[in-house]
């Protein structure tokens, strides 16, 4: 799996097949930022390597802006189970666990967060674990899915350190 590490653009002496988890927290994608140029997206080879690693039994945790990258890459969208659509200006909202028995929500009660509220178009392949309301509509905030022998989980919150410091978020 050293190929995976190189394909994702990292040079390391560690073997990727020894990794338990890959964390994806980037909005790299072929999208134009209003304040600057287009950010380069992941290559097809990078997404193929990541997908193969996950399907082979790897675990992928995608955070916050990771679904922005899936706007320009259909294979990444399929792997993550969703694509970012929009977010209103930051505001305070409450995130509610759905309290199904699942390790992602074990011991977590509803909590308030001040953050960007990500709105997604999502596939029917995801299992929703937490949701929040915006303008009277419920939106998934945390989900997971199986991908081959592997697992994918996504957490929509997490724009900055004030969110990362919340105990329920860290759990």
Mean pLDDT for each consecutive 10-residue tract of the chain (171 residues)? 44 58 77 56 86 95 88 90 93 92 90 95 95 95 97 94 91 86
pLDDT at 15: 54
Do 97 and 154 form a contact (C-beta atoms < 8 A)? Answer: no
Cβ count within 10 A of residue 167: 8
Rounded distance, CA 80 to CA 92, Å? 25
Rounded distance, CA 101 to CA 120, Å? 24
pLDDT at 16: 59
pTM: 0.85
């Amino acid at each position: 799996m050293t190929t995976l590490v190189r394909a994702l653009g990292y040079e390391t002496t560690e073997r990727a097949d020894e990794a338990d988890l890959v964390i994806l927290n980037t909005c790299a994608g072929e999208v134009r930022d209003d304040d600057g140029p287009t950010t380069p997206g992941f290559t097809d080879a990078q997404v193929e390597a990541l997908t193969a690693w996950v399907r082979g039994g790897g675990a992928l945790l995608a955070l916050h802006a990771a679904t922005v990258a899936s706007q320009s890459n259909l294979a990444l969208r399929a792997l993550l189970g969703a694509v970012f659509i929009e977010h209103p200006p930051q505001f305070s909202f409450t995130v509610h666990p759905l309290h199904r028995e699942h390790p992602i929500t074990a011991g977590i009660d509803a909590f308030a967060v001040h953050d960007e509220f990500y709105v997604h178009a999502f596939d029917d392949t995801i299992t929703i674990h937490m949701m929040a309301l915006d303008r009277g509509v419920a939106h998934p905030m945390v989900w997971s899915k199986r991908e081959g022998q592997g697992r994918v989980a996504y957490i929509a919150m997490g724009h900055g350190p004030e969110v990362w410091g919340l105990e329920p978020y860290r759990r």
